[in-house]
Structure 1
Amino acid sequence: MAVKKNLRIGVDVGGTNTDGVIIDPTRSSEADRGIVAWHKAPTTKDPSNGIADAITTMFKSASVDPASIASVTIGTTHFVNAVITRDATRLSRVAVIRLTGPFSKHAPPCVDWPSALRNLILGHFALVKGGLEVDGDLISDIEENEIVEKCKKIKEKGIRSIVVNGIFSPIDTVKRQEERAAEIIKRELGNVDVVLSKTVANLGFLERENAAILNASILAFARQTISSFQTPIKKLGLTCPVFITQNDGTILSGEAASRLPIRTFSSGPTNSMRGAAFLVGNEGKGEAMMVVDVGGTTSDVGLLLATGFPRQQAAYSELSGVRMNFSYPDVKSIGLGGGSLVTRVRDRLKVGPESVGYKLPEKALVFGGDTPTATDYTVASGGELKIGDPGKVRNKFPPEDIDAFRAETRRMLEQIIDTMKTSPEDLPVLLVGGGAVIAPDSLKGASRVIKPKWSGVANAIGAAMARVSAVVDTVRSTESKSEKEVLVEIEEEARRRTIEAGASADSVSIVEVETLPLPYIADKVRFVVRAAGDFDYARAGDFAQSDVPNAIQNEPEIEASHQYKSGSAPSNENALPSNPEEDKDYATAVDFNAYRPKVTNREWIISETDLQWITIGCYILGTGGGGSPYSTMLRVRGILRSGGTIRVVSPDDLKDDDRVGCGGGAGSPTVGIEKLAGDEMMHAQDHLYSLYPGGRPTHFIPIEIGGSNGLQGLVLGASPNLNIPCVDGDWMGRAYPTKWQTTPVVFGERAIVFAPVCIADGNGNIMYMPTATSDLKVEQIIRAALSQMGSSVGAADGPVSGAETRRWAVEHTLSLSWRIGREVARARKDNRIDSVAEAIIDAVGGKETGRVLFKGKIVGVERKLWMGHVYGEVIIEGSDVDDCSSPFSGKIKIPFKNENIAAIRVHEGEENRTGEEKNEDVLAIVPDLVSVIDAQNGEAIGTPEYRYGLLVLVIGITASERWTSPKGIEIGGPKAFGLGHLEYKPLGRFVKPVSVIDEYDEK
């Protein structure tokens, strides 16, 4: 008679301990939660030995029949540790082939990596024809001969891991460009690893490529490691599938994990969270729970959603200095653990962040050591805790110190819990980990505090009980079907993928849905849908034989594939040079009191520090729009690092007959994160001035300071065929959604300002308008052309005179961006982010010109697409975002049309009503600036990045007097955004920004 396979094994292989557990899920509702056996022991040098020891020990302790094991699921930190430690013996060199046509060349692969890691991994890169537009049309098709030529180079260098990355490849289901390129590569190079970027991550070209490169580099080591995991399973006579846990708390087959090891990088914290949820069972079913994993050195805190899955990070995650966009749990850590040092600093008892860590058994007082730790204070405070020799700490500390320890531990935990909460309501807090004993039994903000039994092996339990999931992240048309109808189709696709991954059909449900209309693109919506279900053990046999070979054919041992140590890679003619100076955080690596920007003869010569500060300020002045300036910053940085000079002059110094040109990007920010700029802006400029009779410009001015376009004047001015200075000003003083919402139109001194105009898509298509009936008509025609030009173009506007620029420009806005960015960087360096909003207000002119409008947490976001623009509303609830009690209460709403329009106080029960706002409820409104800032780092948050739970600061800045005339308020005020029932009242008094040139000129 066949033995029933009803037991699951979970093993978590950490850097310090290997934990194991055997669970009978059919008994999960019983008092012991179905836990048959558990084991904790130090991790062995060869992890397979630790796995075998854990399983063998558990089999013996509980007399388990190996034939009853249905699955073994392993969580491991080995792969992520190889990247963090930059282990040259485990990381392979990688070649990158981009299918981008003329785009992305100004941001080469690994451009934003730490130089040592880049030179360790990046062996070769090439840009070839290919790529898609956002609507699925071709930028260009791939050319086989071009890829064959690149393969010859890769073969010469002996590189066996290749990444293929195409523009908009995640939505490429028809042209299959990455797949076709991979077939050519494998035919030419034989049995090598080829990683398709679309299989690793989603939209976001650079971030997806970064993840794919790391994944490719770790593949050989992952194969060897996962194969070694399977060896003890076979030796023990187990005939069940072996799974690996991934970042979102679900499982991958061993074979899938060997292809996508990057998906396991953050499985440790996730396993703990899932294990904690399992231990509380029905007690926490259907509600969100905070999980606090208290170790020896740190406490890791994450929010487990009502779906049973961890909340994921927002748009981007970062690992070892590499920015990526794949799924990663939102976990924050504080320096509080069982081994935390307890010291008195002046009048305050300080707990952590220093810790004795794994040396607790020899350093702590209760074990005969000489170092007071959190564990010692916990034992000394009484209770039932029996660790070491309690007599060594009884009466050791004054009662007031024990009380202070309790209070400080409570404060630290309550603060991090509040930071991670998404609503003000209390919620259950689960305490797990070996250090959980130091935490109090009640906490402010917790509906209840639960310290479940077996919490010390919660990570192994989470691995054993992991589920199966799949995600569909795509852009679809809603022209012929409603958004709801398209969503039904995508949800069905997500369910199908989940079942294919091993879930039982009747257990699959949709656990996450997000819809993001694409601005400036009619009838296009980005859908992100996640489905999850329980593993179908009736199909276990389908996965039991998916063995991972130790190596692919002719693959050298991973150690032998590197003939160099970390940081000294072999020469590579197209790799970026290694330079420790590059790895500086130029925003903070200065003496803020001593730093002086270089200003010579009334010209400001931009440095990398200046650039970083201006970039931060531009996004804040973007008032939620304008697109992230990150990729443009990389381009400007590349100009500086290649020896280019970028000059800025004051509008005050322009001569009457100077010719001031203008240019920038137009289109959807979603396209901008995928189709990185080529030379489209310069194509537009060159074509315009080949036809324009008035001569080439002598200066450039940005059309808007807000967002990415705030840096475009620097790019254009420094181009080799122009080499002219950029004016310290712009036509908006912020970001506005349309081209006619600019100060030249406000002044109305010309019948039309923005014609002639030229736009280019970078792919050979150029449109020139010598004249038009109005600036509004120019806007309308360009928006119509965008849909046929890839929804992203570079624009060139005919020049205006120096005299006109002095009258029309919003002055010194590059200087203003610089000052804002400097204060954010200073607050970051000095650990004063809690007062960064106030510092920004001081930088723009003080309390007269702006104010902190609100501090709180995003609790609601709505978006809809209309006439090419994304309209929406974000609700923010007042809460404590720093160490101090927040003076802000209630809720505000911020309506937006690509950019934020206003900040309006909400009366309870009116969140979703329209047209009922009253003037007395308006905290700030256009043309004044309303910016939302991340309370954790001081960076701007764009409207596409708004999401539930973000802690934010809202600031208001009084608009330039260029906007406060009746005409300016008509064009850029409430009426222009459909809020004509509200009256514009200035937030404060405009204070003209102080020019960097005026302040720091050498003369």
Structure 2
Amino acid sequence: MNDAGIRCGIDVGGTNTDGVLLDPRATDAPNCGILAYHKSPTTPNPSDGIEECIRKLLEEAKVDASQVASLTIGTTHFINAVIEKDSARLAPVAVIRLCGPFSRECYPGIDWPSDLASLICAHVGFVDGGLEIDGDIIRDVVEEQVAEQCRIIREKGINAVVVNGIFAPSDLVEKQEERVGEWVAKYLPQADVVLSKHVANLGFIERENAALLNASILPFARATIASFERAARTLRLRCPVFLTQNDGTLLPAALAGRVPIRTFNSGPTNSMCGAAFLVRHELGASTVARKALLVADVGGTTTDVGMLLVSGLPRQAAAVTDVAGIRMNFSCPDVKRRVLSSPPTPRAIGLGGGSIVRKAPGQPLSIGPDSVGLRIQTSALVFGGAVPTATDYAVAASAVDLAIGDAARVPNSVRADVEEYRAVLKAMLEGIIDRMKTNADDIDVLLVGGGAVLVEDGTKLKGASKVIKPKYSGVANAIVTLYLHACGAAIARVSGTVDTVRPTTDKTTQQVLDEVSQMAVERAVENGARRETVELAEIDVIPVPYVANKARVIVKAIGDFDFSRPPPSAATSADLDAASAPSAQPIDKRPLDRLPTSAPPADTVETLEAYRPHVSATREWKIAERDLEWISLGCYILGTGGGGTPYPDFVRVREMMRRGATVRVISVDDLPDDARVGCGGGMGSPTVSIEKLSGDEMIDAQRAVYAIVGGKPDAFVLLEIGGGNGLQGFLLGASCNMDVPTVDGDWMGRAYPTGWQTTPIVLGGDGAKAMPNAISDGNGNVMNEATSEKMVERAFRAALAEMGSMVGFAKAPFTGKETKAWAVRNTVSLSWRIGRAVALCRARSEMDAVADVIVDAVGGPDTARVLFRGKIVAVERKLIKGHVYGEVTIAGADGTPFAGAALKIPFKNENLVATRVGADGTETVLASVPDLISVSDAASGEALGTPDYRYGLHVFVLGITAAEQWTSTARGIALGGPAGFGLDLEYVPLGVFKAPRSVIDEYAPQ
């Protein structure tokens, strides 16, 4: 196949189908090599519209079909099927989990909207299987167990099966998912079988969610892709067909038919890459190839802004992706979307051609957030309507005829406000540019999309070195024949990604990296790349805490598509038949028996402000679902980078509550002196906790302790409020488990890396030990007994590596009197208040203020402060004696008091010190342990754990004064301050500690 032939790009949107015909040999010409372009309404059957679009392009350009070397299609049809919850396009799916005794309380779809879960999540079978993080087998897979699950799946009439194994992406030797997939194919020969490792990376819940959606959409996706191929064959095209993928590379149609989920978020990517191609004429190909670019795609109802990196790929989002309320972890572009919606989303700023513009007497002009949307040609003033829109103001402001409607219909009242409109529009664009940039330097900004006309030619924006609207910008999304080589030819690019945990015992980190890089290269070649063109686009090495000689390695390789290979087809005769049918027939949906039985109503500002927690006359706080969510948010912020994400524990406790379990919290002050106050939680690597979901290890450890001491506890106190352990008291004390309340307090007031950095050791001395202790791996192995808390730490850490690097632990009870003397009080209440602050800012669309609102919730500026705002520009990590040591560097955000400065934060699992580096190199320590230093995502308010630190993330850094148990004595500062981490630094208090206000005291009936 000639790789220098004509390229055809089609973007099938919900409103319009855009097409472009491109000659890559003429990209330096004034027309950028574009031979023809066409825009028409999207047809009910997209293949009809594609066929008509291609026919128009060929006719206009006078090009024979035989000259077309590739057809690339971008489509929103697959993601729309999920968002619209279309039962005709979504098939029921069964999951076979290779998990042994783990993950059984967090069934598939547990965190989904209930209507989507009822459509898709039809069966789950828990069978033996799964690996530990070090590659050891949890349980080997058993064919008889799989055969029994296949029998049940057949009886339920389900024709799609997901196989999901613990640490499957790292399974390069046992290949458990592959073996089980072969057995499923043997017993269910007509079923679609999806292996989770082929869909997404580490993160058990998120990977399974992605695999479920992928399996559910497969029949519809195959039929749709077959219709695309049929349209091409009808026009006598004999070229390969590609679909655009989320990360900016292409998928051959055959592969897209197996993993259609990789196309879900390709829309913004299409526009970004098309814009970069179009701007070559203004900037020059060599300039585009060596600099990052910011792209704003202004549509009729949204503005998407993303960054193209020097690699030619869009900058990827570091956090999980949310599609229709479902968390997933596959690669997606980091795009800030300003959505026109009512009520507004947390990031809602209306900026589109249909945005409604309001100007009341004496009030400032506003743009959006609501829009006339598709009604613009009947509602806008220039079209004879009665609604002032951004398009009307753009027509009035423009010095040239935009050829949009009738400019004479714009009244003088609108023309009088043109200058204010320009100022508001400019401020909106400058704000999003600042949020997206990764350093203080100005950056070239490209404007594309049908709404790009809103911005006048010659407009200057703060933070933008140039503002460019390329020729043909209205169809940039159809120019999906990606990136450029020095020869000037547009080359289709494909990729391969590996995310795995590898041993470093007998090899250097570089040797391991070389091995994984070669694996990524081979995957790119398997996906169609020419080997000699493959390059490494992304590399990340993350040491794994508490796991000896292991590192998580993530590598992405990209290369040019090999056109010499015969184009594979994704279509079968059955797919073509399905593509010919007007629509698929609804399938009998048989949901899981354990779908959520109740859920709270959607949050609004009014409901959140009016909400009051339920505290009884006996001063027991009955935790509701909203309380749990807020506490979970607050726990991770108090984790100061460590403790692991509370999300898996949040989902599990929420499900227990939805099934009727009661979770109670009591005040420390209400404990009788002779009460037995237990303690327990999780110990180990956060990397394990995102993959090996809890089994019964927490309860098993408690049973082991109380089998020795007798009886059961009267209450639980948290070991640490920070991170996932902040919810363990709820799990253990729930009415369906040990049925005792959790105390509103903990032994740290934050998260610390070791079990002996606790307030009982600070205030009670080395003799304040709670013996016996016990740990359980949830797989039948339990250990207990030691002579001191430090020996507990040493013995358990040594055993940890042989027990899967994640265990549940339990301590013998303290007395109520000891708890009242030593606990950090009201930290559950503090977490609740922090989470509530974040939730209110989201509901009010005031995320720029979230850091200051959290400061107020914690106790005000005397107790807490915003230490810094900016963007992560560097991260270093290394593993020493089981702990991850590293340093993150944050560059100050433009337009803030931090511009021109940087903040450096060394960490040992948790953040240790915050040092500001001025423009002149002067260093000033702003905070240090035991005070809390917390880094959060500026866009969402979510805390970032130290494993989440990624280049380019926009963050704010909070400093919170530590509890007085740590700061009032020399022993507390020695154990929990800089010296406790080997730092030669004198502790200077950040502020004055203010005891958190008790929710129970505030809301109990008087």
Name the TM-score class by shorter chain.
over 0.9
Map of 2:649 onto structure 1: 632
- Tell me if the contact between 1:223 and 1:549 (Cα under 8 Å) persists in the aligned partners: no
Residue 364 (structure 2) pairs with residue 340 (structure 1): no
Distance 1:158 1:246 in 2: 32
Question: What SS is found at the alignment partner of 1:728?
Answer: strand
Distance 2:535 2:494 in 1: 11
Map of 1:986 onto structure 2: 989
- Tell me if the contact between 2:161 and 2:215 (Cα under 8 Å) persists in the aligned partners: yes
- Tell me if the contact between 1:861 and 1:947 (Cα under 8 Å) persists in the aligned partners: yes
1:961-985 Cα shifts (integer Å, max 9, x gaps): 11111000000001112222x2111
Map of 1:914 onto structure 2: none
Map of 1:913 onto structure 2: none
Residue 507 (structure 2) pairs with residue 484 (structure 1): no
Higher deviation after alignment, 483-492 or 819-828: 819-828
1:275-320 Cα shifts (integer Å, max 9, x gaps): 1111122142211100111111221111111111011111300000
Over 3 Å counting, the alpha-carbon distance change for 1:558 and 1:97 in structure 2 is farther
Higher deviation after alignment, 497-506 or 363-372: 363-372
Match of 2:918 among 896, 903, 907: 907
Distance 1:389 1:616 in 2: 49
Map of 1:684 onto structure 2: 701
- Tell me if the contact between 1:5 and 1:67 (Cα under 8 Å) persists in the aligned partners: no
Map of 2:575 onto structure 1: 551
Distance 2:198 2:302 in 1: 33
CA RMSD, aligned part only? 2.2
Residue 617 (structure 2) pairs with residue 600 (structure 1): yes
1:865-896 Cα shifts (integer Å, max 9, x gaps): 1111111111222225xxx8556651211111
Map of 1:751 onto structure 2: 767
Residue 876 (structure 2) pairs with residue 862 (structure 1): yes
- Tell me if the contact between 1:124 and 1:575 (Cα under 8 Å) persists in the aligned partners: no
Map of 1:703 onto structure 2: 719
Map of 1:712 onto structure 2: 728
Higher deviation after alignment, 386-395 or 7-16: 386-395
Residue 738 (structure 2) pairs with residue 722 (structure 1): yes
Question: What SS is found at the alignment partner of 2:480?
Answer: helix
Distance 2:236 2:611 in 1: 69
Over 3 Å counting, the alpha-carbon distance change for 1:720 and 1:114 in structure 2 is closer
Letter in 2 for 1:741: Q
Distance 2:579 2:145 in 1: 26
Question: 1:844 Cα deviation (Å)?
Answer: 2.1
Superposition pairs of residues 162-201 of structure 1, within 5 angstroms: 162-201=161-200
Match of 1:462 among 480, 484, 489: 480
Match of 1:664 among 639, 656, 681: 681
Map of 2:751 onto structure 1: 735
- Tell me if the contact between 2:534 and 2:560 (Cα under 8 Å) persists in the aligned partners: yes
Letter in 1 for 2:915: I
Higher deviation after alignment, 620-629 or 859-868: 859-868
Question: 1:380 Cα deviation (Å)?
Answer: 1.7
Over 3 Å counting, the alpha-carbon distance change for 1:605 and 1:395 in structure 2 is closer
Over 3 Å counting, the alpha-carbon distance change for 1:85 and 1:825 in structure 2 is same
Question: What SS is found at the alignment partner of 2:835?
Answer: helix
Over 3 Å counting, the alpha-carbon distance change for 1:137 and 1:888 in structure 2 is same
Residue 958 (structure 2) pairs with residue 942 (structure 1): no
Percent identity, aligned pairs only? 54
Map of 1:330 onto structure 2: 334
Over 3 Å counting, the alpha-carbon distance change for 1:804 and 1:766 in structure 2 is same
Map of 1:896 onto structure 2: 907
- Tell me if the contact between 1:350 and 1:408 (Cα under 8 Å) persists in the aligned partners: yes
Letter in 2 for 1:711: L
Distance 1:47 1:583 in 2: 38
Distance 2:658 2:810 in 1: 26
Distance 2:582 2:677 in 1: 57
Question: What SS is found at the alignment partner of 1:462?
Answer: coil
Superposition pairs of residues 268-307 of structure 1, within 5 angstroms: 268-281=267-280, 282=285, 283-307=287-311
Tell me, which stretches of 5 or more residues in structure 2 are unaligned?
339-349, 483-489
Map of 1:872 onto structure 2: 886
Question: What SS is found at the alignment partner of 1:490?
Answer: helix
Map of 2:344 onto structure 1: none
Residue 528 (structure 2) pairs with residue 502 (structure 1): yes
Distance 1:537 1:290 in 2: 31
Distance 1:100 1:613 in 2: 30
Over 3 Å counting, the alpha-carbon distance change for 1:735 and 1:5 in structure 2 is closer
Distance 2:90 2:238 in 1: 32
Over 3 Å counting, the alpha-carbon distance change for 1:182 and 1:280 in structure 2 is same
Distance 1:573 1:39 in 2: 46
1:77-136 Cα shifts (integer Å, max 9, x gaps): 111110010011111011111111111111111000000111011111111111110111
TM-score (norm 1): 0.94
Over 3 Å counting, the alpha-carbon distance change for 1:696 and 1:640 in structure 2 is same
Map of 2:468 onto structure 1: 450
Map of 2:341 onto structure 1: none
Over 3 Å counting, the alpha-carbon distance change for 1:315 and 1:744 in structure 2 is same
Distance 2:601 2:414 in 1: 46
Over 3 Å counting, the alpha-carbon distance change for 1:558 and 1:152 in structure 2 is farther
Map of 2:347 onto structure 1: none
- Tell me if the contact between 2:225 and 2:570 (Cα under 8 Å) persists in the aligned partners: no
Map of 1:574 onto structure 2: 593
Question: 1:727 Cα deviation (Å)?
Answer: 1.2
1:400-454 Cα shifts (integer Å, max 9, x gaps): 5111111111111111111111111111101111111111432111111111111
Over 3 Å counting, the alpha-carbon distance change for 1:971 and 1:212 in structure 2 is same
Question: 1:259 Cα deviation (Å)?
Answer: 0.8
- Tell me if the contact between 1:935 and 1:953 (Cα under 8 Å) persists in the aligned partners: yes
Letter in 1 for 2:650: M
- Tell me if the contact between 1:586 and 1:608 (Cα under 8 Å) persists in the aligned partners: no
Over 3 Å counting, the alpha-carbon distance change for 1:973 and 1:229 in structure 2 is same
Question: 1:550 Cα deviation (Å)?
Answer: 3.7
Letter in 2 for 1:954: V
Distance 1:809 1:245 in 2: 55
Distance 2:582 2:195 in 1: 21
Residue 331 (structure 2) pairs with residue 316 (structure 1): no
Map of 2:661 onto structure 1: 644
Distance 1:704 1:33 in 2: 60
- Tell me if the contact between 1:422 and 1:857 (Cα under 8 Å) persists in the aligned partners: yes
Residue 203 (structure 2) pairs with residue 204 (structure 1): yes
Tell me, which stretches of 5 or more residues in structure 1 are unaligned?
911-916
Letter in 2 for 1:811: R
- Tell me if the contact between 1:757 and 1:796 (Cα under 8 Å) persists in the aligned partners: yes
Question: 1:904 Cα deviation (Å)?
Answer: 1.1
Distance 2:451 2:947 in 1: 39
- Tell me if the contact between 1:83 and 1:91 (Cα under 8 Å) persists in the aligned partners: yes
Question: 1:62 Cα deviation (Å)?
Answer: 1.4
Over 3 Å counting, the alpha-carbon distance change for 1:526 and 1:130 in structure 2 is same
Question: 1:194 Cα deviation (Å)?
Answer: 0.7
Higher deviation after alignment, 160-169 or 545-554: 545-554
Distance 2:197 2:3 in 1: 40
Residue 13 (structure 2) pairs with residue 14 (structure 1): yes
Map of 1:214 onto structure 2: 213
Question: 1:347 Cα deviation (Å)?
Answer: 2.0
- Tell me if the contact between 2:521 and 2:557 (Cα under 8 Å) persists in the aligned partners: yes
Superposition pairs of residues 104-503 of structure 1, within 5 angstroms: 104-281=103-280, 282=285, 283-334=287-338, 335-345=350-360, 346-388=362-404, 391-393=407-409, 396-397=412-413, 400-440=416-456, 441-463=459-481, 466-503=492-529
Over 3 Å counting, the alpha-carbon distance change for 1:587 and 1:101 in structure 2 is farther
- Tell me if the contact between 2:608 and 2:840 (Cα under 8 Å) persists in the aligned partners: no
Map of 2:820 onto structure 1: 806
Question: 1:516 Cα deviation (Å)?
Answer: 1.0
Distance 2:2 2:337 in 1: 44
Match of 2:926 among 919, 923, 933: 923
- Tell me if the contact between 1:625 and 1:899 (Cα under 8 Å) persists in the aligned partners: yes
Match of 1:524 among 542, 550, 554: 550
- Tell me if the contact between 1:114 and 1:583 (Cα under 8 Å) persists in the aligned partners: no
Question: 1:555 Cα deviation (Å)?
Answer: 13
Distance 1:509 1:385 in 2: 46
Question: 1:702 Cα deviation (Å)?
Answer: 0.9
- Tell me if the contact between 1:468 and 1:534 (Cα under 8 Å) persists in the aligned partners: yes
